[in-house]
A and B are shown apart, each in its own frame.
Chain A
Amino acid sequence: GIQVEQSPPDLILQEGANSTLRCNFSDSVNNLQWFHQNPWGQLINLFYIPSGTKQNGRLSATTVATERYSLLYISSSQTTDSGVYFCAVDLYAGGTSYGKLTFGQGTILTVHP
């Protein structure tokens, strides 16, 4: 079936460190999004990135659709970056895009001061 796998499941950093989160998916994608779920439970849009590279401040993301993975880079991490990072994809399955997002299980990031 359709699979979205994120790694690592947990990540602990000291403030100022850099990190890379990975998302592997099982089929071609029509849509790929990265979200940050903050400690209050809000799902915040980080990137809409079905292919290519985007940057927003200290965060950047790259999706290599042909190799079925996406990476989220966090540089100079801050305590406010703590939370859960989700990758969600709208996959082409059997040649059809359903227009719905399937979520990975997330990476729990903890940044210590």
Chain B
Amino acid sequence: DARVTQTPRHKVTEMGQEVTMRCQPILGHNTVFWYRQTMMQGLELLAYFRNRAPLDDSGMPKDRFSAEMPDATLATLKIQPSEPRDSAVYFCASGLGRTEAFFGQGTRLTVV
């Protein structure tokens, strides 16, 4: 059963700590997205990659967020240092080219 896998599912951390979220895209998919969902902003795109190359990270606060794809089976999103306003659900999604995208179950981040 092909699915996008995200870890951890839940994360509670103290302000100032580094947070790393991981995503395993569906095997064979070459496009990976990171979205953040909050009540105020809804679902917003942070960054996305095609064939492991970053195409757009304009939605990401550059000073504290970074996104990478060390290899085709792993995407990471890091926040350093974390702040309470980063509390949200972070979704990873993958797709093949510009076709249908499939979402993981999300990482619920709480920064206290």
Contacts and interface: CB of A to CB of B under 8 A. Distances in A.
Contact of A101 (B33, B50, B97, B108): B33
Interface stretch (B67-75, B76-84, B98-106): B98-106
Do most interface residues of chain B lie in helix, strand or loop, or is the interface mixed? strand
A48 B45 CA distance: 19
A42 B43 contact: no
Interface string A33-65: 101000001110100100000000000000000
Interface residues of A, number: 21
Do most interface residues of chain A lie in helix, strand or loop, or is the interface mixed? strand
A41 B43 contact: no
A41 B98 contact: no
Interface stretch (A20-28, A73-81, A92-100): A92-100
A98 B106 CA distance: 23
Interface string A90-113: 100000011111110110000000
B98 A43 contact: no
Nearest to A31: B98
Interface in B33-81: 33, 35, 42-45, 48, 50, 55-56
A7 interface: no
A19 interface: no
Contacts of B103: 35, 42-43, 45
Given A99-B50, A103-B43, A45 B100 contact: yes
Interface of B: 31, 33, 35, 42-45, 48, 50, 55-56, 89, 91, 93, 97-103, 105-106, 108
Interface of A: 30-31, 33, 35, 41-43, 45, 48, 86, 88, 90, 97-103, 105-106
